[in-house]
Amino acid sequence: MKIFLLIVDKIRQIVTFRGKIFEKTRILSSFMNQKPVAVITGASRGIGRAVAIALAAEGYDIAAIARSVDSEGMAFLGNEVEKLGAQFFPVGFDISCTGCHKEVVANILERYGRIDILVNNAGVAPLQRNDILDMTEESYERVLNINLKGPVFFAQKIAREMTWLKNQIDNFRPVIVFITSVSADLSSTNRAEYCISKAGLSMASKVFADRLSGEGILVYEVRPGIIQTDMTARIKDKYDKLIGEGLVPQKRWGLPEDIGKAVASISRGDWSFSTGLVFEVSGGLNIHKL
């Protein structure tokens, strides 16, 4: 592990943001990571794990966020990332804790000095699949806080840091990726809160892309289809039947690695003139047909 000193003195700045002037302080690291740094939420399993491994293979050091840093999933991910020659920094916190965002981002910046890409992947399904007429406020609030509110304000915090970092790092190419779902567009009446959260996150991606285009920060939405993860394991038989009957034109489950490949392509700058683009990785679920 690299050793570095921290500049303890706070640096006062007068910052203009959207026409408003305010004073802020920073604690800067005297160490600037030579490699780009990726921050991935929901990184310990499934799509988040595959994205972290794919970005490590692309030359990024990894800050992996999950609720617990002591899980088997995080230990496995750390080993996989380090095998690829990347640094691994596990961070434990719940994305819905918006009051924690400032400290988490500060810790990542103290460790690496930079954040080059944020992949907002953390998300949950309802604990119970209830008809929308039976949906509870508790379930709605839980899903919306984790899937929408947390990611939006975490992206806001990191976007501000990226805006500042653009003037500090040569050849800095900041990117924000929102992992949504085909449920942003497809209705499921027995998990309405999930669909609503992903539809909201899809619009958040568009709004961030619009606002940050002038700052040189690229924003994309990656919209997975039916992906083989822990979230879908409990309804595997249902989806096996539907896929077999032709629901998915490519007639297979999606894999977390399919999403990792899409994010890796984005990270390479392959789509640098396409901010706001929606990448649907769904095996053709987006094809409307008679």
CATH number of the structural domain spanning residue 133: 3.40.50.720
Q: Is residue 9 part of a domain?
A: no
SS3 100: helix
The token duo for 54 is: 């794919």
Q: Is residue 247 part of a domain?
A: yes
Phi, psi of 164 (to 5 degrees): -70, -40
Q: Is residue 3 part of a domain?
A: no
Least confident of 22-26, 51-55, 192-196: 22-26
The pLDDT of residue 12 is above 70: no
Separation in Å, CA 223 to CA 45, 84, 106, 152, 155: 18, 27, 29, 16, 17
Query: What would the mean pLDDT of 149-162 be, rounded to a whole number?
Result: 98
State residue 136's pLDDT score: 98
Each residue's pLDDT tens digit, 136-146: 999 999 999 99
Position with higher pLDDT, 57 vs 4: 57
Query: What would the mean pLDDT of 247-270 be, rounded to a whole number?
Result: 97
Band of the pLDDT at 98, cuts 50, 70, 90?
very high
Q: Is residue 79 part of a domain?
A: yes
Q: Which domain holds residue 63?
A: 31-281
**CB of 147 within 8 A of CB of 204?**
no
Cα distance from N-terminal residue to C-terminal residue, the chain: 57
Q: Is residue 264 part of a domain?
A: yes
Q: Is residue 15 part of a domain?
A: no
- For the entire predicted model, the pTM comes to 0.90
Burial of 132 (0-12, 13-18, 19+ CB in 10 A): middle
Band of the pLDDT at 289, cuts 50, 70, 90?
confident
The pLDDT of residue 16 is above 60: no
- Looking at the structure of the chain, the number of domains it has is 1
**CB of 27 within 8 A of CB of 8?**
yes
Q: What share of the chain is helix, strand, coil (3-state, %, to 5)?
A: 40, 20, 40
DSSP single-letter state for residue 189: T
The identity of residue 83, as a single letter, is: K
- State the Cα–Cα distance between residues 134 and 130, nearest whole angstrom: 6
Each residue's pLDDT tens digit, 122-136: 999 999 999 999 999
State residue 51's pLDDT score: 98
Q: Is residue 189 part of a domain?
A: yes
Pairing of strands 117-120, 88-92: unpaired
The token duo for 131 is: 């008809």
Helical H runs in the chain?
46-57, 72-83, 101-112, 137-144, 150-165, 192-212, 230-233, 236-244, 256-267
Type and span of the H or E element at 222: strand 218-224
Whose structure tokens read 């961030």?
208
SS3 65: strand
The identity of residue 80, as a single letter, is: E
Task: Report the chain's mean pLDDT, rounded to a whole number.
Answer: 91
Query: What would the mean pLDDT of 36-61 be, rounded to a whole number?
Result: 98
Q: Is residue 5 part of a domain?
A: no
Band of the pLDDT at 60, cuts 50, 70, 90?
very high
